């Protein structure tokens, strides 16, 4: 309720300023027109008349001066109403988010923040602003930013149904896509084939040549899909739209291929699906009031709490059902992971804490010469095959 009242107070001041703007604008326009008219008439007098009445033109000049001084008064009135808004905000939101609550938690946080802002701009299509921001913040040579710039460019082209750049990208990441079991590369080629055919029956040979060039690489995995899409050919002269293959020409396929590309590329390049900046701000808005209340209570109780330590938050924050803080609990030792005891991945894919791995290796040290068995699937692994997991 308190916040609502504060918002209303500021809102009233904003309304007053806006109405002030509107009237000042109209009056100002009139004054400028008046002054221009006077000056033009003086100019005309000078051009047309042999003799100019000095008194008359002096009168005109003083009227222009009067107009200008009125304009300047109106300008001051606007400035005053703007500063009134500022005063109202200060008076009503004194205890707001201006309080610096926590020290920077991450080293190099400024760079991370700039990176997040830049990526946010790029992925939301504000390419020019993103590129300019990267230049100003000294991130133009940053690999992630360069990758994001390239990706944004490809996405822009794909949005306009130009497939070539996306296909080239997929071909460049052929192996990674295969490892991720992704259909993206094939789907893009399939789309290209359909696009060629959709131009009419005279393009049939070109489409067949494209299929011959690109489909064989996918003949094992996508045999059925290739057969289906090739089924369009016999209907090409009679009109494909009324054929059993009409669905291949549904515009919704373009939406799907765009979504598939965006999702897959983000996954391959390690970009999160949602913008990290939007996510941080969304959760920040929810968490900040709780943090502030918490900090106040701690100060009143004279308890010190260091957020930079790796301990868990002592309070629950409702983040609308989303979990922003990944926690790994070792399934073997039932302990929560920490920087000195991080989660590790075995070559079989099972995960456990470093302490559990050490204990397993120690347990098997007599039997397998440096190797041990995964406690779950009993697959043999060596110490060098174990990698740290990051969430």
**Residue indicated by tokens 């039997």:** 367
350 near Zn ion, rule: CB under 5 A: yes
Minimum CB separation from Zn ion for residue 117, in Å?
Answer: 41
- 159 binds Zn ion per the rule CB under 5 A: no
Give start and end residues of each alpha helix (H) in 173-269: 174-179, 184-197, 204-214, 223-230, 252-269
- Is 374 one of the binding residues for Zn ion (CB under 5 A)? yes
Q: Which stretch binds Zn ion (CB under 5 A): 139-147, 269-277, 300-308, 366-374?
A: 366-374
Among 96, 376, 380, 389, binds Zn ion (CB under 5 A): 376
Taking each continuous run of H as one helix and of E as one strand, the counts in the chain are 13, 5
How many Cβ atoms sit within 10 Å of the Cβ of residue 253? 16
Residue 377 as a binder of Zn ion (CB under 5 A): the answer is yes
At 12, which helix (H) or strand (E)?
A: helix 2-48
For residue 132, the minimal CB distance to Zn ion (Å) is 49
| Interactions with Zn ion, residue window 223-252 (CB under 5 A) | none
Decide: is 385 part of the binding site for Zn ion (CB under 5 A).
no
**Residue in 131, 283, 317, 348 binding Zn ion, rule: CB under 5 A:** 348
Minimal distance, residue 379 CB to Zn ion, in Å: 5
- Smallest distance, Zn ion to C-beta of residue 130, A: 43
Of 165, 172, 167, 159, the residue nearest 185 (C-alpha): 167
Pairwise CA distance, residues 308 & 105, whole Å: 6
Q: Cα separation of 52 and 48, whole Å?
A: 9
Give the torsion through C-alpha atoms of 13, 15, 17, 19, to 10 deg: -150
Instruction: Tell me the window of 46-54, 245-253, 285-293, 373-381 that interacts with Zn ion (CB under 5 A).
Output: 373-381
Binding mask 297-336 for Zn ion (x = CB under 5 A): ----------------------------------------
Cβ 82 vs Cβ 17: under 8 Å: yes
Site residues (CB under 5 A) for Zn ion? Answer: 348, 350, 374, 376-377
């Amino acid at each position: 309720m308190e916040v609502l009242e504060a918002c209303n107070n500021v809102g009233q001041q904003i309304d007053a300023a806006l109405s002030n703007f509107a009237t000042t604008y109209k009056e100002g326009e009139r004054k400028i027109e008046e002054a221009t008219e006077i000056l033009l008439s003086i100019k005309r007098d000078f051009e047309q008349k042999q003799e100019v009445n000095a008194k008359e033109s002096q009168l005109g000049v003083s009227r222009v001066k009067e107009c200008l001084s009125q304009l300047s008064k109106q300008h001051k009135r606007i400035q005053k109403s703007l500063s009134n808004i500022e005063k109202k905000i200060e008076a009503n939101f004194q205890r707001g988010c201006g309080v610096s609550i926590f020290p920077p938690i991450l080293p190099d946080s400024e760079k991370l923040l700039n990176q997040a802002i830049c990526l946010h701009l790029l992925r939301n299509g504000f390419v020019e602003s993103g590129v300019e921001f990267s230049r100003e913040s000294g991130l133009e040579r940053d690999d992630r930013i360069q990758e994001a710039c390239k990706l944004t460019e490809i996405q822009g082209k794909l949005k306009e149904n130009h497939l070539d750049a996306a296909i080239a990208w997929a071909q460049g990441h052929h192996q990674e896509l295969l490892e991720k079991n992704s259909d993206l590369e094939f789907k893009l080629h399939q789309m290209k084939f359909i696009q060629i055919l959709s131009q009419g029956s005279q393009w049939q040979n070109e489409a067949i040549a494209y299929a011959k060039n690109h489909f064989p690489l996918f003949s094992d995995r996508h045999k059925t899909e290739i057969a289906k899409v090739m089924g369009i050919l016999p209907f090409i002269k009679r009109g494909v739209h009324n054929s059993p293959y009409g669905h291949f020409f549904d515009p919704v396929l373009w939406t799907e291929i765009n979504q598939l590309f965006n999702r897959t590329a983000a996954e391959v390049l390690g970009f999160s699906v949602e913008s990290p900046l939007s996510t941080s701000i969304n959760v920040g808005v929810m968490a900040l009031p709780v943090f502030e209340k918490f900090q106040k209570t701690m100060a009143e109780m004279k308890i010190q709490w260091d957020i930079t330590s790796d301990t868990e938050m002592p309070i629950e924050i409702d983040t609308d059902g989303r979990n922003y803080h990944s926690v790994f609990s070792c399934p073997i030792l039932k302990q929560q992971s920490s920087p000195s005891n991080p989660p590790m991945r075995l070559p079989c894919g099972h995960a456990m804490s470093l302490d559990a791995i050490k204990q397993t290796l120690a347990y098997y040290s007599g039997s397998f010469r440096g190797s041990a068995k995964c406690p779950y699937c009993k697959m043999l692994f060596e110490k060098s095959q174990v990698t740290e997991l990051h969430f």
